[in-house]
Amino acid sequence: MSKQIKVALIGNPNTGKTSVFNALTGLNQKVGNYPGITVDKKEGVCKLSRGVKAHILDLPGTYSLNASSLDENVVIELLLNKKDKDYPDVALIISDVENLKRNLLLFTQIKDLKIPAILVINMADRMPKKGISLNLEILEYELKTKVALVSTRKNDGIQFLKKLIENFKTLSTEPCLDTSTIDEEYFANLKKAFPNQDLYKLWVVISQDANFGKIDRNSVNVSRFKTKTKSELKRLQQKETIKRYQFINEILKVGQTVDKSKATDLRSKLDNILTHKIWGYVIFFWILLTIFQVIYDWATIPMDLIDSSFALLADWVKTTFPGGGKLTNLVAEGIISGIGGIVIFIPQIAFLFLFISVLEESGYMSRVVFLMDRVMRRFGLSGKSVVPLISGTACAIPAIMATRNIENWKERLITILVTPFTTCSARLPVYLIIIALVIPEGRFLGLSYQALTLMMLYLIGFGMAVLSAYILNKILKTNYKTFFVIEMPSYKIPLLKNVVLTVLEKTKTFILEAGKIILAISVVLWILASYGPSKNFNDAEVIIQKSFPALTGEVLDNKIAAYKLEHSFIGRLGKTIEPAIRPLGYDWKIGIGVITSFAAREVFVGTLATIYSVGSSSEDNDKTIKNRMAQEVHDNGDKVFTLASGISLLLFYAFAMQCMSTLAIVKRETNSWKWPIIQLLAMSLIAYVIALIAFQILK
Amino acid sequence: MSLTIADLKKGERAIITDCSSIDIPLKLLEMGCLPGNVVQLFQVAPFRDPIYLNINDSFVAIRKETAALILIDMINE
């Protein structure tokens, strides 16, 4: 077995850490989760010379070893635990050449943990433009390390970096700062209490109490050493920061020269427009409109293609394996239609992730946060809530994870609670099919009624999110202080490789996660619809033939199938809840769709497809779900899908919390069942009441 | 009364003299908001909140209430 060198990538956000990761690993990477938490764990393999391989771990971005979020905490947990299987042999500290001073703060901290550390200075191609020159020998000498100048954009320096990784054993592990100089007395006492421990490590463990406080203390029990209050500890952390900056400033005085006259100032030119009091907002809304336009315009072509391919596939299965065996039916009616319902989202989701990753990579997203902070604060949100609310239009799950960089817990909690109101892509197929059924064709000011309805639904979603945030802000009492610090990174042209990898990765995750649920539900549903508890179900043929002796052929088959469905397990469930949903304009079949949707909303269309195809004989010529739905009638002959019931259903789906995965994420992110349960009950109640009102007015 | 970052006008520069308030997030200090460093007001959002600063060559945006905790000496240019 060849030996692998374990490498950890560490660095500030916006330093191009991901680009370095991509440059080292290429496509040899995978994203998983750290056990028990939803922080993405990106790993990859990099081939060095002579068959040696490096296992590369891309750690979440952090400004220092003082964690203020779950993501940052991951970095510290790992670096403090020598027994962790991912504990690095060598750390690469990725830094941005334009901001070396600040990046070195983290570098000196890692170095003081006595982990062999290489300083990687990224974006070196920008040096001439910014008038920066570096004396690498001095930097290497003073920091007691090796420095790699890298430009991932030009693919420079990567080979050299690989060489350094290979020779990591030659790196010095001498610390940069003598920890005890921060406060002689305090650290002398600490040393006395724990004579066998590394002083800086102890200090990092202790100071986490003042910050995030979730360090696993298996190795050291520091709780008995409590000589300082929280605010005193914070003062010590301030002192540490100042000491480190003094050290860094001394080095950079000789190691770095900046000729400001050579610097071209793209930032102030762009920010004069993009963060302008008026133009900034105009441009932001224009970008948003473009995104939605493109998603609906461009995505329809591949979506139609996928739709027809899956219909063909289902047909093919039925004709190739005739005889209508149970298994064939399960595959054709349950699984293929269920999977098709997910795959059809790929184009839209991919486009959405494409735009979001371009906005983030370019540095524009931070400007949006800056522009929107004041407005959002009025509703108890933060400027940083804009990012989750925008990415919530793709999927609430990554959106809720994106709330992690909101410093203030109350603002973060409110953002988590209201994000599921934004129209995620799973609502889209429900909206599309119902709009096509009940909203008439025709145009208003050149825009089709159907497109306008869809747009209204998006606005209603955002409106509801903001309104509930406002109400939550009034209800929730907290003593948390508002903290808001956001770095405004320099503008960059997004790297194609990064964007493509992000889109691939996120789309794949979404499809797999949602696919699992849908597949399971399709199968369960199909079974529940194909079997029944009572005699009525098993003797359907006899009963129908007795009641309607005149019927023959296809009409008879249809009657039997419908009777069977009504008396199947799922039919009885639907009938049981029918009284509760009648006032909303739904029949028991829609009721089944609504129930199964509580697992995941996108199941709705698939459920109805399954129910209607089980409920009719297979000789139907007109097989599209839409046509079957349009033909559905109540017992008294009235149509099931009218304008009133359609609108009621649209509003129900706009507001109801129908996504188990989101609830699971909310549970993890808030670390309690309280919030997801409140969310589920409140949103469902709102959905029910509004759908009820809408139907009663419109009918 | 001493001046704070919240008093800066667009484009003005100053030297940070004190940021010892316990309500200033550590993250801001780590970004270079420390006594002796130069701060410049780069851009403001409507109602001067939040404000966009260049501190010690780091570009950050903070809210007005935090800015009002950081004391400064103006640089007369």
Indicate which of A235, A252, A483, A490 best probes the interface with B, i.e. most B CBs within 10 Å of its own CB. Answer: A483
Query: Tokens for A103?
Result: 């990046």
Name which of A237, A275, A485 is nearest B60 (Cβ-Cβ).
Answer: A485
Kindly report the length of chain B.
77
Which residues of A are less than 8 Å from B59 in CB distance? 267, 487-490
The 10s digit of each residue's pLDDT in A84-110 is 888 999 999 999 988 899 899 999 999
CA-based R_g, chain A, Å = 30
A178 found inside a domain: no
Query: Tokens for A450?
Result: 């159907």
Name which of B25, B34, B47 is nearest A242 (Cβ-Cβ).
Answer: B34
Query: Tokens for A135?
Result: 């004396």
The 10s digit of each residue's pLDDT in A229-239 is 777 888 888 88
Q: What is the DSSP letter of A119?
A: E
Whole-angstrom distance, CA of residue A86 vs CA of residue A419:
34
Which residues of B are less than 8 Å from A407 in CB distance? 25, 27
Contact A116, A170 (CB under 8 A): no
What per-residue confidence (pLDDT) applies to B13? 93
Query: Tokens for A433?
Result: 């099919």
Chain B contact present for A166, CB below 8 A: no
Percent of chain B with pLDDT over 90: 58
B49 with A374: Cβ contact below 8 A: yes
Number of domains in chain A: 3
What per-residue confidence (pLDDT) applies to B1? 63
Cα distances (Å, whole numbers) of residue B40 to A214, B44, B74: 36, 12, 10
Most confident of A536-540, A546-550, B46-50: B46-50
Q: Confidence band (pLDDT; 50, 70, 90) for A422? A: very high
Residue A19 sits in a domain of what CATH number? 3.40.50.300
The 10s digit of each residue's pLDDT in A684-699 is 999 999 999 999 999 8
Same domain as A435, residue A546: no
Whole-angstrom distance, CA of residue A686 vs CA of residue A641:
22
CA distance A455 to chain B (A): 28
Q: Find, among A78, A77, A82, A72, the residue nearest to A57 by Cα.
A: A78
Residue finishing a domain among A170, A188, A204: A170
Same domain as A692, residue A584: yes
Same domain as A291, residue A164: no
Lowest-pLDDT choice from A33-42, A157-166, A258-267: A33-42
Contact A489, A10 (CB under 8 A): no
Contact A280, A371 (CB under 8 A): yes
What per-residue confidence (pLDDT) applies to A220? 57
Cross-strand bridge partners of residue B54: B40, B59
Average pLDDT score over residue span A407-430: 88
On the question of pLDDT at A164 being above 50, the answer is yes
What per-residue confidence (pLDDT) applies to A271? 92
What per-residue confidence (pLDDT) applies to A112? 93
A611 found inside a domain: yes
Whole-angstrom distance, CA of residue A137 vs CA of residue A681:
63
Query: Tokens for A156?
Result: 């420079």
DSSP 3-state percent helix, strand, coil across chain B (nearest 5)? 20, 40, 45
Within 8 A by CB and 6+ apart from A392, the residues are A399, A419, A420, A422, A424, A465
Contact A529, A400 (CB under 8 A): no
B55 φ, ψ (degrees, to nearest 5): -110, 115
Q: What's at A107, amino acid-wise?
A: F
What per-residue confidence (pLDDT) applies to A529? 78
Query: ipTM score of the complex?
Result: 0.95
What per-residue confidence (pLDDT) applies to A1? 40
Q: Confidence band (pLDDT; 50, 70, 90) for A263? A: low
Contact A393, A423 (CB under 8 A): yes
Beta-strand runs (E) in A453-503:
485-487
On the question of pLDDT at A214 being above 60, the answer is no
Put simply, the chain A residues between 345 and 374 with a CB less than 8 A from any chain B CB are 366, 369-371, 373-374
Indicate which of B16, B23, B30, B31 best probes the interface with A, i.e. most A CBs within 10 Å of its own CB. Answer: B30
Name which of A98, A485, A489 is nearest B27 (Cβ-Cβ).
Answer: A485
On the question of pLDDT at B24 being above 80, the answer is yes
Average pLDDT score over residue span A36-52: 79
On the question of pLDDT at A432 being above 90, the answer is no
Q: What is the DSSP letter of A120?
A: E
Pairing of strands B58-62, B51-55: antiparallel
A429 found inside a domain: yes
On the question of pLDDT at A339 being above 80, the answer is no
Indicate which of A270, A381, A488 best probes the interface with B, i.e. most B CBs within 10 Å of its own CB. Answer: A488
Whole-angstrom distance, CA of residue A615 vs CA of residue A619:
12
| CA triple A222-A62-A260, angle to 5 deg | 130
Same domain as A450, residue A336: yes
Same domain as A455, residue A524: no
A644 found inside a domain: yes
CA-based R_g, chain B, Å = 11
Same domain as A529, residue A440: no
* Alpha helices, DSSP H, located in A144-198: 158-166, 184-193
A60 found inside a domain: yes
Residue A425 domain boundaries: 279-475
- Give the containing element (helix H, strand E) for A259: none
The 10s digit of each residue's pLDDT in A632-670 is 777 777 888 899 999 999 999 999 998 877 888 888 788
Within 8 A by CB and 6+ apart from A549, the residues are none
A22 found inside a domain: yes
Same domain as A148, residue A81: yes
DSSP 3-state percent helix, strand, coil across chain A (nearest 5)? 65, 10, 30
**Number of inter-chain CB pairs under 8 A, A vs B:** 108
Name which of B27, B56, B58 is nearest A68 (Cβ-Cβ).
Answer: B27
Average pLDDT score over residue span A555-570: 78
The larger pLDDT score, comparing residue A130 to residue A482, is at A130
Chain B contact present for A490, CB below 8 A: yes
Helix axes A588-597, A496-530, angle to 10 degrees: 140
Helix axes A660-670, A496-530, angle to 10 degrees: 120
Residue finishing a domain among A123, A143, A170: A170
Residue finishing a domain among A121, A146, A170: A170
End-to-end CA distance of chain B: 22
Q: Find, among A681, A33, A656, A11, the residue nearest to A398 by Cα.
A: A33
On the question of pLDDT at A300 being above 50, the answer is yes
Tokens 């779950």, located at residue? A70
On the question of pLDDT at B68 being above 90, the answer is yes
Tokens 């649920």, located at residue? A517
Same domain as A461, residue A521: no
Average pLDDT score over residue span A285-306: 79
Query: Tokens for A178?
Result: 């003598």
- Give the containing element (helix H, strand E) for A675: helix A674-698
Whole-angstrom distance, CA of residue B53 vs CA of residue B31:
11
Contact A589, A574 (CB under 8 A): yes
Same domain as A409, residue A319: yes
Whole-angstrom distance, CA of residue A493 vs CA of residue A491:
7
Indicate which of B19, B23, B27 best probes the interface with A, i.e. most A CBs within 10 Å of its own CB. Answer: B27
* Alpha helices, DSSP H, located in A256-278: 266-274
CA distance B8 to chain A (A): 18
Return mean pLDDT, chain A.
83
A484 with B63: Cβ contact below 8 A: yes
Chain B contact present for A566, CB below 8 A: no
Same domain as A664, residue A524: yes
Pairing of strands A256-258, A447-448: unpaired
Helix axes A449-475, A279-320, angle to 10 degrees: 120
Q: Find, among A601, B26, B25, B6, the residue nearest to B16 by Cα.
A: B6
Diameter of chain A measured on Cα atoms = 101
What residues of B are in the A interface, CB distance below 8 Å? Answer: 20, 22-23, 25-32, 34-35, 42-43, 45-47, 49-50, 52, 56-63, 65-66
A258 found inside a domain: no
Q: Is A86 helix (H, G, I), strand (E, B) or coil?
A: coil
On the question of pLDDT at B75 being above 70, the answer is yes
Which residues of A are less than 8 Å from B25 in CB distance? 68, 407, 483, 485
Q: Find, among A582, A574, A604, A575, the residue nearest to A699 by Cα.
A: A582
Q: What is the dihedral of CA A610, A612, A615, A616, to 10 degrees?
A: -120
A11 found inside a domain: yes
Same domain as A643, residue A693: yes
B52 with A275: Cβ contact below 8 A: yes
- 3-state helix/strand/coil string of A64-82: CCCCCCHHHHHHHHHHHCC
Same domain as A543, residue A420: no
**Residue-by-residue DSSP string for A553-595:** HHHHHHHHHHHHHHTSHHHHHHHHHHHHHGGGT--HHHHHHHH
Put simply, the chain A residues between 229 and 268 with a CB less than 8 A from any chain B CB are 231, 234-235, 237-238, 241-242, 245, 267-268
